[in-house]
Amino acid sequence: MKISVVGTGYVGIVSGVCLADVGHEVVCIDNNAAKVDDINTAKSPIYEKELDELLQRHIGTRLKASMDLPQAVVESDLTFIAVGTPFDGDLIDLQYVKQVSKEIGAALKGKDGYHVVVVKSTVVPGTTDEVVLPILEEFSGKKAGVDFGVGMNPEFLREGEAIGDFMNPDRIVLGGIDDQTREKLAEAYAPFPSTDKVMVNNKTAEMIKYASNSLLATLISFSNEIGNLCSSIGGIDALDVMNGVILDKRFSPILETGERIKPVMTTYLEAGCGFGGSCFPKDVKALISHGVNVGDPMRLLKSVIEINQHQPKQVMDRLRKHYPELAGYKVAVLGLAFKPGTDDMRESPAIPIVQELVAANAVLTAYDPVAQEEAQKIFIEGGIDYCDSIEQTVAGVDAVLLLTRWPEFKALPEILKEQGASPLLVDGRRLLPKDSVESYEGIGI
């Protein structure tokens, strides 16, 4: 199948590369010339494991990047819209979706044959049918459902695991205005025959994405609230509590063989310094806002966000318990990205923590295996000494804050032992055993 993908951010580039890998002919479109040039020379615009190899394998054969959206639409059977939908505090910002819808509509005007336009960006329920479809009709002068199809196919990939998630999907949601749209969209996913497919209308497809992210964010804030209470009561470790909770067989079923299944979902029940990234905070806030607009305030989800906003403070409270005045004290930050496997800093809990440390005049060293370049764009005031290794970052410090679950940080106790040092460790992710260092503080203890 010939496929065009508009937008080469996380979702666009990963979808484009993977769809080429499963046999489609793909053109990735972006209006950023530098990104297009990079992709065409097999340089990935984002850090994501395995992406470079796949890009190198397919670029110039089944995959290319271009700025020519009209030509890509005319020469393909199906176009995915994968541009950003940032949240502006009130509504999701649809300017990029609207702009590409206009351009795709205009391209459809001169195209013979049936084409399908599919929204892959995360948009609130109603957007595909009530915003994208009318623009496509207006700019093409054609009729949706007759001359072209309009679909919605939310993306569930997780940054850091994006290629694996796209290639081994847990479900594929195929939304469309009619069966013809859904069938054409299903052709794009024919190389995934054993994956559960959910065939629905566009609004339902849009809602499945928001409901999924809201549930996961709710689990995180739930376990953080329980963890915070454990800390206040004292003598309880939230990890032990949740280990007891998740053994409920409705979470972790016991098979007839006696073997127990521990779903990944249970990792969302571990206390920590909060969720971040480009999706959970934005999507939950956008759904709350959409709820208000349609007269349904989302009380539970408002609390989910409120709890999350307080979690970075939990880290700082533990640090200040030992160092009430931080000025002049040496603090090492391990991990800046919102989670391991990505250089994405968007809404990372490390942002407010680092900003508070800088404001308090702490002497700051920081290390993240891949996110330092992104971090420098955010912490423009400076005040941070970026290091190249864990060893360098923690040498001679008074305290270490562990903020991202990078597996290599598990070496910290050994490194401190070699250095003959015993700084305070505030483990914002509960990555390390609490007896692994001399002075340990963690969320939920």
- Range list of β-strands (E), 75-227: 78-81, 115-119, 148-152, 172-176, 197-200
Q: Is 32 one of the binding residues for ligand NAD (CB under 6 A)?
A: yes
Out of 3, 4, 5, 11, point to the residue binding ligand NAD (CB under 6 A).
11
Q: Give the nearest distance from C-beta 154 to ligand NAD in angstroms.
A: 7
Q: Give the nearest distance from C-beta 43 to ligand NAD in angstroms.
A: 14
Q: Is 314 one of the binding residues for ligand NAD (CB under 6 A)?
A: no
Nearest to 107 by CA among 136, 149, 145, 133: 136
User: How does DSSP classify residue 417?
Assistant: H
230 given a catalytic annotation: no
Question: Within 10 Å of residue 52's Cβ, how many Cβ atoms?
Answer: 14
Q: How far apart are the C-alpha atoms of 83 and 110, rounded to whole Å? A: 23
**Phi/psi of residue 440, each to 5°?**
-125, 135
Site of tokens 């270490």: 400
Q: Is 82 one of the binding residues for ligand NAD (CB under 6 A)?
A: yes
Q: Is 157 one of the binding residues for ligand NAD (CB under 6 A)?
A: yes
Q: Give the nearest distance from C-beta 122 to ligand NAD in angstroms.
A: 4
Q: How many residues bind ligand NAD (CB under 6 A)?
A: 26
Catalytic residue from among 230, 273, 279, 387 = 279
Q: Give the nearest distance from C-beta 330 to ligand NAD in angstroms.
A: 35
Please give the residue whose beta carbon sits closest to ligand NAD in the complex.
Answer: 9
Q: Is 9 one of the binding residues for ligand NAD (CB under 6 A)?
A: yes
For the chain, the first-to-last Cα distance in angstroms comes to 54
Out of 5, 16, 35, 301, point to the residue binding ligand NAD (CB under 6 A).
35
CA 367 to centroid of chain Cα atoms = 21
Regarding beta strands 2-6 and 63-66, do their DSSP bridges make them parallel or antiparallel, or are they unpaired? Answer: unpaired
Q: Is 118 one of the binding residues for ligand NAD (CB under 6 A)?
A: no
Q: Is 121 one of the binding residues for ligand NAD (CB under 6 A)?
A: yes
Out of 5, 17, 29, 188, point to the residue binding ligand NAD (CB under 6 A).
29
Q: Give the nearest distance from C-beta 282 to ligand NAD in angstroms.
A: 6
Q: Is 101 one of the binding residues for ligand NAD (CB under 6 A)?
A: no
Q: Give the nearest distance from C-beta 70 to ligand NAD in angstroms.
A: 11
Q: Is 135 one of the binding residues for ligand NAD (CB under 6 A)?
A: no
Q: Is 12 one of the binding residues for ligand NAD (CB under 6 A)?
A: yes
- Range list of β-strands (E), 30-152: 63-66, 78-81, 115-119, 148-152
Q: Is 441 one of the binding residues for ligand NAD (CB under 6 A)?
A: no
- Among the listed ranges 28-36, 127-135, 268-276, 415-423, the one in contact with ligand NAD (CB under 6 A) is 28-36
Instruction: Tell me which long-range contacts 64-68 makes (C-beta under 8 A, separation of at least 24).
Output: 64/26, 64/27, 64/28, 64/40, 65/8, 65/27, 65/28, 65/29, 65/30, 65/35, 65/36, 65/37, 65/39, 65/40, 66/27, 66/28, 66/29, 66/36, 67/29, 67/30, 67/31, 67/33, 67/36, 68/29
Give the interface with ligand NAD as residue ranges (CB under 6 A): 6-12, 29-32, 35, 82-85, 96, 99-100, 121-122, 155, 157, 159, 278-279
Residues known to be catalytic:
279
